[in-house]
Every structure is written in structure tokens, then in C-alpha cells.
Amino acid sequence: MDPQIIEYALFSVFSLVTLAGGVGTVAFRDPVKAALSLIASFFGLACLYLLQAAELIAVLQILVYAGAIMVLFVFVIMLVQNKDAPIVNPGFFQRAAVPFKLIVVAMVSLVVLYAVRRTSLGGSVEQLPTGFGSVAAVGHEFFDNYLFHFELTSVLLLVGIVGAVILSKRPKA
């Protein structure tokens, strides 16, 4: 079987998973189901990165987004009080705004499509150097050119964790 056909089929499947997860994130009224749909969307996106031979970005997508951030989202959703209250109170203005929202989305889509069609790449595309985007190349870039920024981010994350622990230990009045 032709490898290009397999790649197109995998691209189609992973694209559908990503889109279905995104639609589920917006469509589900239950926040936990919406968060799980977002995780499915993140996994589909990671698979699309793998198809583009961007293994590092795919692994980071799973570890950072589907792992750490979504665990945080799910914990926050589970800890929120008053789970029975509706997220948005349905009313006349909510239903009346739907055509307006659809018109705005269509107009923005047309502007983006027009801008993409007018843009030309012009010129030749440069070949990337060997090893570009690999774990070693990204590591060298981080620790050679951006070490201070990397360490500053670590300190900020540590301060955030310490602050969260202090706030959680505060006695409830």
C-alpha cells in the first residue's frame, strides 16, 4: 500500500479526533465532559505533530497540556461549589444573539480566507539544518541563549506553588 495514502488516512483520522474534541469542548454542558473532550483534542493534535515528524512538540503537547494543565483544570472543576447551577441562564437575548454570532464568525472567516489567499510565500523556502527541532538542539538553545529566562520561569513557578500551598493552609473563617 502506498505510504502517502496511509499518511492521508492517518491525517484524516487525527484531524477528525481533534475537531470532534474541540466541538465537544464547546458543546458539552457538563464541565468534566468538556475537559475530557479537550484532552481528546490535545491527543489528536499530538498525533498530528507526530505525522509532521515533530516528536518533541508532540511529547510536550501530551506532557504539558494533556497532562499538567488538564489535570489542573479537572481539579478546579471538581472543587468548584454549586455544580447544579447552569453555566449560562438561557433567555431571549441568548437565543436572539445566535444569528449575530454566526454572521460575525462568517465575516471573520471570510477576512482570514481573503488574507490567506492574498499572501504569497514569494521566493524560495530554505532547507532547515540537520537536527533542527530535536531535543538536543532545543536543549542547547535553552541552556546557551535563554538560561536566565529558563531559570526565571522556574522561580516564578516555584513562587506560584508556594503561594498556592500558603493559601490552602490558611484557616477558614
Domain ranges, residue 7: 1-81
Burial 128-164 (b: 16+ CB within 10 A, else e): eeeeeeeeeeeeeeeeeeeeeeeeeeeeeeeeeeeee
Per-residue pLDDT, 148:
92
Taking all residues of the chain, what is their mean pLDDT, rounded to a whole number? 83
Residue 11 lies in a domain: yes
Same domain, 143 and 73: no
Between CA 41 and CA 48 the distance in angstroms is 11
Residue 57 lies in a domain: yes
More confident residue, 62 or 79: 62
Question: Cell numbers 515533530 correspond to what residue?
Answer: 54
Closest CA to 66 of 19, 21, 131: 21
Name the domain count of the chain. 2
Q: What is the pLDDT of residues 128-152, one digit of tens each?
A: 788 887 888 888 888 899 999 989 9
Residue 96 lies in a domain: no
Residue 75 lies in a domain: yes
Same domain, 76 and 139: no
Residue 35 lies in a domain: yes
Decide if pLDDT at 157 tops 90: no
Per-residue pLDDT, 10:
95
Whichever domain contains 31, its CATH number is 1.20.120.1200
Residue 99 lies in a domain: no
Same domain, 75 and 3: yes
Domain final residue, candidates 81, 100, 116: 81
Q: What is the pLDDT of residues 65-107, one digit of tens each?
A: 888 877 777 777 776 655 566 556 667 667 778 888 889 999 9
Cα 159–161–164 angle (5° rounding)? 110
Q: What is the pLDDT of residues 17-36, one digit of tens each?
A: 999 999 999 998 888 888 88
Same domain, 76 and 3: yes
Q: Is the pTM of this model over 0.85?
A: no
Same domain, 75 and 144: no
Do 25 and 34 form a contact (C-beta atoms < 8 A)? yes
Using pLDDT thresholds of 50, 70 and 90, give the confidence band for residue 54: confident
